[in-house]
Chain A
Amino acid sequence: MTLNANLHAQLALLPGYLHGHVALCGAALGLGLCVSLPLALAVARSPRARGPVMAAVSIFQTIPGLALLALMVPLLGAFGFWPALTALVLYSMLPIVRNTVTGIAQVDPELVEAGRGLGMTERQVLTRVQLPLALPVIVAGVRTAAVWVVGIATLSTPVGQVSLGNFIFGGLQTRNWTAVGVGCAAAAALALALDGLLALLERAARGRSRRRLGAALAGLALVFGGGALAPRLTPASPSAEPAPRHARARGDTSPVAPIAAIRVGAKAFTEQYILAALLTQRLEGAGLKVEAVTGLGSTIAFDALTKNRIDVYVDYTGTLWSSAMKRSDPAPSWRVQSELAGWLATTYGVRDLGALGFQNTYALAMRRAQAQALGIRTIDDLARHAHTLRLGTDYEFLQRPEWTHLREAYGLRFASKTAFDPTFMYQAVAREQVDVITAFSTDGRIDTLDLVTLDDDRRAFPPYQAVVLLSPRAADDRRVIAALTPLLGALSLSRMRAANASVDRSADKKTPAQAARALWPGPR
């Protein structure tokens, strides 16, 4: 795929992602203002409340954006729009509350006293003296909040809200830097546009200029209205991936009601994007309507499935065994699969449709040259040298029970441990910044970077069969089952690895949809 074609494909996704982003930011800023302004006015009146309230709104700033967004999922028991909205509202509060309180406090006390002396009520002092004089400071706070919210909203992709972050997370995982660039440029342009329009609104309010006021309001209407209507104005070209519609969490649909649109989920890495595209193509081929919800955090995908927020995605038995079932005992693949399927059905009503045929296990991988020089072929060999070697992992590995189990099974002690985004983890081992990485067995980069995977003789890693999971409401949907059953057992490790490589490589790069079609060229 040429750069130009890639850019074109990314731009075709822009309306859908922009819509999700603008709807989220608009709602967050509107709600943030509605909450923050009255709070700030109350605080401005009672100085005693000032300390505690400012401390409370400041605390939200100290929580990293991604963590705050992730926390909202279990706190609200929801997924997608609402947790993202809640986190962004909390983020927007500090600059608005702080600037409003400061702005009002900075108004010359003699003017406040004069207002009272002239016979203004406390409310009139507020609306005729304090607020107009504090307005520039308040608007500055709103502008700061707008820029923050637009930026942090890109982090709402992993909790299931479609945003411009889909470009960034998806692009990062599939090493599609054009996608990352498009996402960043769109977010920056949106932030600058909002900031400029709010500044214009402020000048209009101060200068009492109706013309400027009209221009600013028209501009804001264009940004929010245009963003909201974007998917309708620009229909995605048929060759592009289906533009995901916004993934707002809706109330649970009754399991017996016919499902209007099947929501296909994907975690945030290449294989998941390809498999989601494959599931989508199969379902659409069966005449079903499909919505894609991609770039989900690992455990969020499973939570979303149990709550019917997504209907189908591919997960891995080992992941579910340890993260969902909280099991750490090693077991053969057939036992993991059967116990897991029973547990999923009885605990959540989730259906394990079956295995696709390949395993995507964690595997420790090294540069071939170094492994040969040190005579390392198995993890047992590695354990003797580990204290001189540096380990690179993905974000979650060191928190996962597999790591505890692996470490104890082999007595592994590394010289250092560093967590990376998976894309950068592979680059780090290739550039000799780390020596051992937690690779995935299906990853095409194992071959391209000339890495070797080490044998796990003690079977410390549980099996990671790729299985297709159906949400409770889709568990008995015959159309879905019929469309997806042909995939079971049909995907070998080598074919999956080749498909992943075709998306990850730099030359002759495929989109996940193209890779999926190559993987399963069957009738649509």
Chain B
Amino acid sequence: MIQLIGVSQRYGAVDALQGVSLTVARGEWVALVGESGSGKTSILKLINALARPSAGRVQVDGQDVARADPIALRRSIGMVFQRFALLPHLTVARNVAVVPELLGWARPAIDARVDELLEQVGLPAAAYRDRMPRALSGGQQQRVGLARALAARPRILLMDEPFGSLDPLTRDALGRQVRALHGALGLTTVMVTHDVTCALLLADRVAVLHQGRLLQVATPEALMRAPADDRVRALIETPRQQASRLAALQAGS
């Protein structure tokens, strides 16, 4: 379980977050949406102690992040990055093995885990483990990124724009695959995205941020049905219109 309690954060004179309170229940998938600079990524950094709040508290599984060992905390949380951020000088297998290596796992255990994970994310280990990241497509690289995030069996998965730089087909396939893994592994997932459609389709609840403030946290259905104000309405207007036009097209054909 992840809890943000009255969290504010200032960078110099800029308020990145102002009085944000948010609870992510165990096994839940919450998507953070909002335009650039709304504070989405700041929340991820607070959860894995890459940043400290100026006010308020952040708790992970009931423990205050400020008092936890940040290194141990980060190793216990899986993280997927926007532009994959695979280490270009390491093979696929060594990239996946980064966190188990940091944790000092035995080599056979690491090898077995790497193979298992590559199969789980849809990359046959025999064909992919010794390849270099630059030889992979974007979708394949992000699968490796996902395998790396899950390598040390984290309970929490943080994703920063995980599908942002993928083509639509890959985005959809990978999104559904991650959702399936989320369920199968019992993960608690926080995903940052500016793709509202993606958030509505994948998340259990969607949190809408605007200029560092939390406007609304609701299930996709509730958000569509009863947006809290005009700003939330505007945000979901585009996916709604697209959906209805697509529905009309389908009905016509």
Contacts and interface: CB of A to CB of B under 8 A. Distances in A.
A117 B48 contact: yes
Contact of B89 (A113, A114, A118, A206): A206
A119 B71 contact: yes
A117 B81 contact: yes
Given A118-B75, A119-B74, A110 B88 contact: no
Counting from the closest, the 7 A-B pairs by CB-CB distance are A119-B75, A114-B85, A119-B74, A117-B79, A132-B89, A110-B85, A114-B81
B190 interface: no
B221 to A, nearest CB: 32
Interface of B: 48, 50, 71-76, 79, 81-83, 85, 87-89, 98-99, 102, 148
20 contacts: A110-B85, A111-B85, A111-B87, A113-B50, A114-B79, A115-B87, A116-B74, A117-B48, A118-B75, A118-B98, A118-B148, A119-B99, A128-B87, A128-B98, A129-B87, A132-B87, A132-B89, A133-B87, A133-B89, A206-B89
A89 B83 CA distance: 42
B102 A124 contact: yes
A423 B72 CA distance: 72
Interface string A494-510: 00000000000000000
Contacts of A124: 102
A121 B89 contact: no
Contacts of B98: 118, 128
Among A119, A129, A133, A206, the most chain B Cβ lie within 10 Å of the Cβ of A119
A120 B87 contact: no
Contacts, number: 50
A107 to B, nearest CB: 10
Interface in A414-444: none
Interface residues of A, number: 17
Contacts of A206: 89
A115 B76 CA distance: 14
Contacts of A121: 71
Given A121-B71, A124-B102, A116 B85 contact: no
B74 A110 contact: no
A103 to B, nearest CB: 13
B102 A119 contact: yes
A206 B88 CA distance: 11
A257 B3 CA distance: 82
A117 B74 contact: yes
A119 B72 contact: yes
Nearest to B69: A119
Nearest to B102: A119
Interface in A198-257: 206
B201 to A, nearest CB: 26
Among A121, A124, A128, A133, the most chain B Cβ lie within 10 Å of the Cβ of A128
Contacts of A118: 74-75, 79, 98-99, 102, 148
Contacts of A111: 85, 87-88
Given A118-B99, A118-B102, A119-B73, 19 more contacts: A110-B82, A110-B83, A110-B85, A113-B50, A113-B81, A114-B85, A116-B50, A117-B50, A117-B79, A118-B79, A118-B98, A118-B148, A119-B72, A120-B102, A124-B102, A132-B87, A132-B89, A133-B87, A206-B89
Nearest to A114: B85
Nearest to B74: A119
Contacts of B85: 110-111, 113-114
A116 B49 CA distance: 10
A65 to B, nearest CB: 36
A206 B132 CA distance: 13
Interface in A113-153: 113-121, 124, 128-129, 132-133
Nearest to B82: A110
Among A113, A116, A118, A133, the most chain B Cβ lie within 10 Å of the Cβ of A118
Contacts of A117: 48, 50, 74, 79, 81
A512 to B, nearest CB: 56
Interface in A64-91: none
B71 A133 contact: no
A110 B81 contact: yes
A261 B35 CA distance: 82
B199 to A, nearest CB: 21
A139 to B, nearest CB: 14
Contacts of B102: 118-120, 124
Contacts of A132: 87, 89
Contacts of B50: 113, 116-117
A115 B87 CA distance: 9
B166 to A, nearest CB: 16
Contacts of B148: 118
Given A110-B81, A117-B50, A119-B74, A133 B88 contact: yes
B88 to A, nearest CB: 7
A118 B81 CA distance: 10
